[in-house]
Amino acid sequence: MDRNSSDEDEDHRNLIPHHDTRENELHSATNRANGGGRSPRSTFQIEEASSRSGNPRKISLNKRYVIAAVSLTLLLGFFLFSFTDTRTFFPLNLSTFKLDPLSVQAKESELRALYLLKQQQLALVSLLNHNNSSNAIESNVVESAISLSKQIEEALLSPHGTGNSSLSVLGSDRCKKVDQSLSERRRTIGWKPREDKFLFAICLSGQMSNHLICLEKHMFFAALLDRVLVIPSPKFDYQYDRVIDVDRINTCLGRTVVVSFDQFKEKKKARIDRFICYFSSPQPCYVDDEHVGKLKGLGVMIGGKLESPWSEDIKKPSKRGFEEVVEKFKGDDGVIAIGDVFYADLEREWVMQPGGPIKHKCKTLVEPSRLIVLTAQRFIQTFLGKNFIALHLRRHGFLKFCNAKSPSCFYPIPQAADCISRIVERANAPVIYLSTDAAESETGLLQSLVVVDGKVIPLVKRPPRNSAEKWDSLLYRHGIEDDSQVDAMLDKTICAMSSVFIGASGSTFTEDILRLRKDWGTSSMCDEYLCRGEEPNFIAEDE
């Protein structure tokens, strides 16, 4: 069974090609994974280097390599011992290790030096293993270089007195959880709606991730306007109750604040008294004749015309305060509809705080259903364990989208593998969960290149259905095993539970995972976008 991409951000890209997500807000922190059966073998053929023993150029080449490696080691050693007090490398005791923002760059450099030393050791060992037995002098030089490299590494680690385990301990501390206590939320608003006043949510741009973000913003609007939020019918929008627990939202608030479309029809005549468009251009509310027809097909009457209280362009959203929304959108109409608010820039800091802007007793209001959470936990227990990295690698349709941005966010597989390997080194994680829509040719190449300390780090994707495995039995028992949106939400949930998360810049799928990690308290100091701060080392020309 193949799990193909649902093009999570297709409309997002088409409507706003240059729209950038919150990349600057991720201080250092899927589409769902292509599980499925294996596709035919990749056309990429990765060949091992043929043996060159007996080649008269080999000794000359190896000597030059040895001279360069030894020179680099001696230079690094001279710098470390002559110009640096090694006791000051790590001035903090590991038992009370805390990340000082002022010294993050220094620590990054120290870890990078350790990483390079380890890579040099591996390269020298490999060179030594390939030397002919007759090259005794050359072998002795290589062995001396390896020994000196190890001495420099021990000098870097000596302040801890923890020996070879120091990198592991440091890695776990460096990637510790971000402290984001919900009790410290600076600003919240109560949601106490009037029972006879409703807000009809209109979310039409993009795919499911966009709609969930839009729905969460609608909750803020409903709280500001003292209205009950009406969840759209699955005949007009997605079937939200398959992926999120709608009733749980009411439990978190201790009162009825959201109702389904069917519940709404039982309480109120299916009529929208006032249809307000947050954005006036390029198209009011994203509502065209087709969507109006769908609403009428549900028995919903629309009173009046689509209106916008201000001039607002989706391509350049204005920052708005809650007072403006209350002034422009509040009224005595029984039922109002507002759309589409996905791109609305309203009280950004207030909205982005852990737990969101609304006062409630849960970690977050919009989260995966209980069935999906349990299934994710069972998958993690079966395949991943407690310490794993999650990678959302967005590829389908991303080449053109990313190249329209500056800098581009589409990286060649070898460069991506190098970025991933560095994070694995820091996090000391044995396995990576891969959520991707990439082709097997790309993931196969990536798997061969993610190597740390000479060990290939497994990339794990959700496998096709196997009756011998019981981790996904809940989905089959409830008849939602083949729902593409359930699969996508399961991917998000697994990623949100990871020790460290690597996301795709510009993807709302990644943004929703980051929201869950922030609200659940699973965010790590090592969370970041893939190859953050780097530009692709090769970019194709425009058409």
Is residue 428 one of the residues assigned to a domain?
A: yes
* Residue 92 reports pLDDT greater than 60: no
Is residue 101 one of the residues assigned to a domain?
A: no
* Rounded distance between C-alpha atoms, residue 238 and residue 366, angstroms: 15
For the chain, what is the domain count?
2
pLDDT band at 63 (very low <50, low <70, confident <90, very high): low
What does the pLDDT read at residue 187? 85
* Rounded distance between C-alpha atoms, residue 513 and residue 376, angstroms: 14
Is residue 26 one of the residues assigned to a domain?
A: no
Greater model confidence, 492 or 122:
492
Which range is least confidently modeled, 28-32, 163-167, 391-395, 494-498?
A: 28-32
- Our CA dihedral for 210, 211, 216, 217, rounded to 10 degrees, sits at 70
What does the pLDDT read at residue 350? 87
* Rounded distance between C-alpha atoms, residue 17 and residue 13, angstroms: 5
Task: Report the chain's terminal Cα–Cα distance, integer Å.
Answer: 35
Q: What is the pLDDT of residues 15-36, one digit of tens each?
A: 333 334 444 444 444 343 344 4
* Residue 302 reports pLDDT greater than 50: yes
pLDDT band at 158 (very low <50, low <70, confident <90, very high): low
Segment 139-158 mean pLDDT = 61
Greater model confidence, 74 or 396:
396
Greater model confidence, 100 or 272:
272
Same domain membership, residue 427 and residue 390: yes
Domain range for 271:
198-352
Name every residue whose Cβ is closer than 8 Å to that of residue 119 and which is 6 or more positions away in sequence: none
Same domain membership, residue 338 and residue 436: no
Supply the CATH number for residue 423's domain: 3.40.50.11350
Same domain membership, residue 434 and residue 345: no
Same domain membership, residue 426 and residue 296: no
Which H helix or E strand runs over 392? strand 389-393
CB distance 225 to 276 below 8 Å: no
Same domain membership, residue 418 and residue 382: yes
What does the pLDDT read at residue 101? 46
Is residue 230 one of the residues assigned to a domain?
A: yes
Is residue 123 one of the residues assigned to a domain?
A: no
Greater model confidence, 169 or 364:
364
What does the pLDDT read at residue 469? 87
Helix and strand numbers, DSSP H then E, in the chain: 18, 16
Strand partners, 529: 503
What does the pLDDT read at residue 307? 84
Which range is least confidently modeled, 126-135, 385-394, 437-446, 510-519?
A: 126-135
Question: Sheet holding 274-277: strands in order across?
Answer: 258-259, 228-230, 198-202, 335-339, 274-277
pLDDT band at 290 (very low <50, low <70, confident <90, very high): confident
What does the pLDDT read at residue 190? 94
CB distance 31 to 509 below 8 Å: yes
Greater model confidence, 300 or 224:
224
pLDDT band at 468 (very low <50, low <70, confident <90, very high): confident
Greater model confidence, 411 or 133:
411
CA angle, corner 440, sides to 543 and 242, nearest 5? Answer: 95
Q: What is the pLDDT of residues 236-289, one digit of tens each?
A: 899 999 999 999 999 999 999 999 999 998 877 788 899 898 988 887 777 777
What does the pLDDT read at residue 12? 43
What does the pLDDT read at residue 437? 94
Supply the CATH number for residue 299's domain: 3.40.50
Is residue 24 one of the residues assigned to a domain?
A: no
Same domain membership, residue 377 and residue 345: no
Same domain membership, residue 306 and residue 236: yes
Token pair 């000082």 in the structure block, residue: 100
Q: Locate 152 and state its tokens.
A: 């420099």
* Rounded distance between C-alpha atoms, residue 453 and residue 521, angstroms: 31
> What pTM value is reported for the model?
0.71
Same domain membership, residue 411 and residue 289: no
Segment 62-80 mean pLDDT = 55
Query: How are the residues of the chain apportioned to helix, strand and coil, as percentages rounded to the nearest 5?
Result: 45, 10, 45
CB distance 26 to 527 below 8 Å: yes
- Mean pLDDT (the chain) is 78
Is residue 37 one of the residues assigned to a domain?
A: no
Same domain membership, residue 337 and residue 254: yes
